[in-house]
Amino acid sequence: MCGIVGYIGHRDAAVIVVDGLRRLEYRGYDSAGVAVLNGHGIEVRREAGKLAQLESLLVQSPIGGPLGIGHTRWATHGPPVQRNAHPHSSPDAQMVVVQNGIVENFQPLRRLLQDRGYVFHSDTDTEVIVHLIHSHYHNGSERDLIHAVRAAAAELEGPSAIGVICQDDPERLVVVRLGNAGGVVIGHGEGETFLASDIPALLPYTRRMQFLENRQMAILSRDGVEIFDLDGNACDLPVTEISWDADAAEKGEYAHFMQKEIFEQAESIQRTLAHRIDFDHYRVDLPELNLSVDAARALRKLTIVACGTSYYAGLVGKFLIEHLARLPVEVDYASEYRYRSPVFGQDEMVLAITQSGETVDTLAAIEEARDFGVFTAAIVNAVGSQAARVCDGVIYMHAGPEIGVASTKAFTTSLVDMALLGIYLAQARGTMTAETHHALIDELAHLPGLVARLLADARQSGHYADLAARYGERHNFLYLGRGINYPVALEGALKLKEISYIHAEGYPAGEMKHGPIALIDERMPTVVVAPRNSVYDKMVSQIEQVKARNGAVLAVAEEDDAYIRAVADAILPIPPVHELLSPVVAVIPLQLLAYEVAVHRGADVDQPRNLAKSVTVE
Ligand code: M6R
């Protein structure tokens, strides 16, 4: 949460910083600000609201200079008003600070600094950081920014990524990473160096990037970067060449990132599959997972930890892996995992699923498992993210940058990763028939084509905009699924509520009669996920029961399913596909429905209220 961008070099820092913030606005959009160091000292512009407000301010009151730092905020301490916008300045305006994270001990630090005479102008925890650095800077005869930042960092509790510039130090930008506060990416150009919370901010400028580790400090200059730990020891950090295309982080012809990301799913699934299946021998290989065949065979339990959409992907994974590899799987909310003293045994594996690789609860769950010496792996999208770096093994989603706050292509690609993992484990454990093995691999090969056709038909028909016009003013929705598609119902409900603010509940269809059926009336539409599979008949009787109570039914069903077409009020068509892969296609109509309903209601699809893309605070 919150995005930071910094620049030092030969170009206009404010322009680059604001451009970078535009690509990070998905991390928070409560306020934005930029500070630039030039011949007049440090000049700051900050504004409440979205980045566009700051851009307007900069048009009226421009600032220029070769060193700058900026921030887009997701409010934690204090409302989203101008006085709480970053950067925050020291009393003499000699230094400014931007921060991503939380200072957990900010109250005692604030009192301590007030006793020293500091006056606070904001409600934020960040303001204590700038005053603390300032206080250390002026403590003693020698003014040393690096020493002051290090001394302040030693007093801060909680995860933070902090960027600092100082008027007396016009050739350096300092950044510190304390804990899991979201990424700190350093980009290398020719005679210029960049800083950002995430890769997309820097893609138009450089592909050579480094990822700062916990408790490291980087000193950026135009000629490069020096990296130290907080005791002052020099550190080596590998430089990674990022292969993502700069256009991948642009909306292009689409109205919203979410829409673009929905329509990219055929290509992203293709990339997820690439080089992982040997079609001549019907074998799946996952070398980056670092799990040998012997270790896979010996496994006794798998625990999946994740949040939000990634958690629902984990529920599908449980179904897939238990079915294929006969391995017991538990799925846990990462945000609950560490608060319930989990029990670990021998030959277990903990698998995190995370698009961003920076979700603080998911990282904490991984740490918990690592502390017990358990093998950890991550299904992750963001290259170089913390989850990818700390786990013993990784399975990349290869979805490309996902910018829309509502996760779409990361969900479908993590389902494909999970299918590959299920097959990989089943191969090692000898738990899958040759028939299932061949059928699944053949169907995986066809999946991108099926998804491409589903999306092309949806685009051409305008069907989802029509459905949004018919149902978009309803106040409540129920989503039902069963078996492997029960998590798809949960995901469909989450998509609708997070971007259109309509209350939606996902339920396992079999639980309806235990309570929720009381909700059904003519005002409550029910979305059912009903492909022809092992629980098809049960879903059909569910539809009948809703219809018998005058409820409207929107059914995700196979395009040629004449029975459901006749009985349901609307059909959301999908192609037939192997039951174990059906969630990949079944969720796409629900993404399209949520998207069109949000557009119909005039909601801000890519930046829904109160949310941010990466949840880096608890
Ligand atoms: O980056 P992660 O996959 O760890 O993020 C987990 C959730 O915060 C995320 O899936 C969230 O629920 C999305 N907004 C859902 O669309």
What mean pLDDT do residues 324-328 have?
97
Neighbours of 302 (CB within 10 A): 23
Query: 333-342 pLDDT, tens per residue?
Result: 999 987 888 8
Cross-strand pairs, 97: 88, 164
Question: Using one digit for the tens of pLDDT, what is the confidence trace for 209-232?
Answer: 999 999 999 999 999 999 999 999
- Ligand 1 contact via 310 beta carbon (within 6 Å): yes
Residue 509 clears pLDDT 80, i.e. is over it:
yes
Mean pLDDT of the chain: 94
For 483, other C-beta atoms within 10 Å of its C-beta total: 22
Q: Averaged over 577-586, what is the pLDDT?
A: 97
DSSP state of 359: -
Any idea which residue has 């029975």 for tokens?
A: 563
Q: For residue 345, what are the contacts with CB-CB under 8 A and spacing of at least 6? A: 300, 301
N- to C-terminal Cα separation, the chain: 10
Task: Determine if the peptide bond prior to 608 is cis (ω within 30°).
Answer: no
Residue nearest to atom 14 of ligand 1 (CA): 406
Find the 405 Cα to ligand 1 centroid distance in Å.
8
Q: What is the CA radius of gyration of the chain?
A: 25
For 91-112, what is the mean pLDDT?
95
* Ligand 1 site, residue 361, Cβ cutoff 6 A: no
Helix (H, G, I), strand (E, B) or coil at 503: strand
Q: Ligand 1 atom 11: the closest Cα is on which residue?
A: 308
Query: How far apart (Å, rounded) are the C-alpha atoms in residues 570 and 544?
Result: 14
Query: Do 88 and 130 touch, CB atoms closer than 8 A?
Result: yes
Closest CA to 407 of 203, 303, 265, 571: 265
Please report where in the chains the tokens 């989450």 appear, as a residue.
Answer: 494
Distance CA 186, CA 16 (A): 14
Peptide bond before residue 583 is cis, with ω within 30 degrees of 0: no
* Amino acid symbol at 165: I
Whether 407 is in the pocket of ligand 1, judged by its Cβ within 6 Å, is yes
Q: How far apart are CA 490 and CA 47, in angstroms?
A: 37
Residue 569 has pLDDT above 90, yes or no: yes
Question: Rounded to whole angstroms, how far apart are CA atoms 380 and 112?
Answer: 41
Pocket test for ligand 1, best of 1, 257, 310, 495 (most atoms within 8 A of CB): 310
- Rounded to the nearest angstrom, the distance between the alpha carbon of 567 and the centre of ligand 1 is 35
151 alpha carbon to ligand 1 midpoint, in Å?
A: 35
Closest-CA residue to 441 (of 278, 267, 269): 278
Secondary structure of 425-456 in the HEC alphabet? HHHHHCCCCHHHHHHHHHHHHHHHHHHHHHHH
Tell me: pLDDT of 93 over 80. yes
Confidence tier at 279 by pLDDT (50, 70, 90)? confident
Query: Torsion-angle region of residue 509: left (phi > 0), alpha (psi -120 to 50) or beta?
Result: alpha
Determine whether the shortest distance from the Cβ of 386 to ligand 1 is under 6 A.
no
Residue 457: pLDDT above 80? yes
Tell me the catalytic residues. 2, 613
Strands 553-558 and 526-529: parallel
Query: What pLDDT digit, counting tens, does each position of 187-212 carry?
Result: 999 999 999 999 989 999 999 999 99
Model confidence, pTM: 0.87
User: Per-residue pLDDT for 29 more than 90?
Assistant: no
- In this prediction, residue 181 carries a pLDDT of 75
Reduced DSSP (H G I as helix, E B as strand, rest coil) percent helix, strand, coil of the chain, to 5: 40, 20, 35
Report CA(253)–ligand 1 centroid distance (Å): 25
Please indicate whether residue 182, judged by its CB atom, sits closer than 6 Å to ligand 1. no
CA of 406 to the centre of ligand 1 (A): 8
